[in-house]
Amino acid sequence: MKPIRKLAFVVNEDKPGAHALARELVPIARLAGVKVKQTTRFPLPSGWLKGWDACCVIGGDGTLLGVARESAREQVPIIGVNRGSLGFLTTFSADEARTQFAGLLEGAFRVTHRAMLDCSTGPGTHDLALNDVLIKDEINSRLVRLEVYADDELVTDYTCDGLIFSTPTGSTAYNLSAGGPIIHPSAGVIAMTPICPHTLSNRSIIFRDSVCLRVVNRSPDSRLLVAMDGQRNLKVAATSPIEITIAQPRLPLAQRPDYSHFSVVRTKLKWSGGFVDKR
């Protein structure tokens, strides 16, 4: 990749060690002649990344999700440094950031482009999500009846606690916790996973990435909540269908040249090998 000459920092000061790490990395960038700006605010305001070469996010996956929309719209790669817990998206550890930062500034990374979801809840009301779109009743304890269409073809109707629509990137987030599949980030699909459906036969469904999904509320006494990446909620009119498609912009995510998705999954989910006979 091209050398970085303008680098924005987003630092989550609530994460232990994030501010201290930023104090180490910012001088390295300035010493290399890189123009720097820094914020602790996220989600980012519109236009904050316009014209910048890259954005270094120091925090957890939630911090990166708060930057993802702006990064995708401006096509500014994110360098995610993990100071949180799992760190599926913030793939650089603090030690890796320290030892590899000078190389990163010189372009020693590759960029992968991750699919995002575009969710519309009515005319002029839409948002982007990197991980998932959650649809449920505004009141946690209520069941809802949701009818799902794929390109105007009825899929089925669900009586459930809600539905999760996930990108491949988000398959290891809420989708996985709800029993959905793990999907490789480069797969061109959308996963739909019901939450606690009231029938044993309802399971996750995988759709092609060109599909237009439409969800209709068939519970007359319920108002729906639409949560984007668990961070932002969209308003839904009582009679308005919810449409979900793959968004046109994709998220540019910086990774080490030797990055391995399955190595990350093995480490983060603590996968282990089979039985070892020690006799």
The residue type of 22 is A
* Residue 275 in this model has a pLDDT that exceeds 60: no
Q: What is the pLDDT of residue 272?
A: 74
Q: Tally Cβ neighbours within 10 Å of residue 128.
A: 21
Q: What is the pLDDT of residue 268?
A: 83
Q: Per-residue pLDDT tens for 174-198?
A: 999 999 999 999 999 999 999 999 8
Residue 276 pLDDT grade (very low, low, confident, very high; cuts 50, 70, 90) = low
Confirm whether 61 is a catalytic residue.
yes
Residues 6+ apart with CB under 8 A from 25: 9, 56, 58, 81, 97, 98, 101
Percent of the chain with pLDDT over 90: 81
Q: What angle do CA 197, 198, 201 make, to 5 degrees?
A: 75
Q: Per-residue pLDDT tens for 19-60?
A: 999 999 999 999 999 999 999 999 999 999 999 999 999 999
| Domain 6-114+250-268: CATH architecture, name and number where available | 3-Layer(aba) Sandwich (3.40)
Residues 6+ apart with CB under 8 A from 55: 7, 8, 9, 10, 49, 67, 71, 76, 77, 78, 79
Q: Per-residue pLDDT tens for 57-94?
A: 999 999 999 999 999 999 999 999 999 887 889 989 99
Does 3.40.1190.20 match the CATH number of domain 117-246? no
CATH 3.40.50.10330 intervals, the chain: 6-114+250-268
Q: Per-residue pLDDT tens for 194-252?
A: 999 988 888 999 999 999 999 999 998 888 999 999 999 998 887 789 999 999 999 99
Percent of the chain with pLDDT over 70: 97
Catalytic residue among 61, 137, 161, 229: 61
Q: What is the pLDDT of residue 141?
A: 77
Q: What is the pLDDT of residue 265?
A: 86
- Give me the residue label for tokens 């950031």: 97
* Residue 278 in this model has a pLDDT that exceeds 70: no
Alpha-carbon distance of 107 to 109, in angstroms, equals 6
Residue 277 pLDDT grade (very low, low, confident, very high; cuts 50, 70, 90) = low
Alpha-carbon distance of 195 to 134, in angstroms, equals 10
Q: What is the pLDDT of residue 122?
A: 86
First-to-final CA distance of the chain = 51
Q: What is the rounded average pLDDT of the residues 156-181? A: 96
Backbone angles phi, psi at 101, to 5 degrees: -65, -40
Token couple for 151: 């390109």
Q: What is the pLDDT of residue 194?
A: 97
Q: At what angle do helices 18-31 and 94-105 cross, to 10 degrees?
A: 20
Q: What is the pLDDT of residue 84?
A: 80
Helix (H) or strand (E) holding 39: strand 35-39
Q: Per-residue pLDDT tens for 135-151?
A: 999 887 789 999 999 99
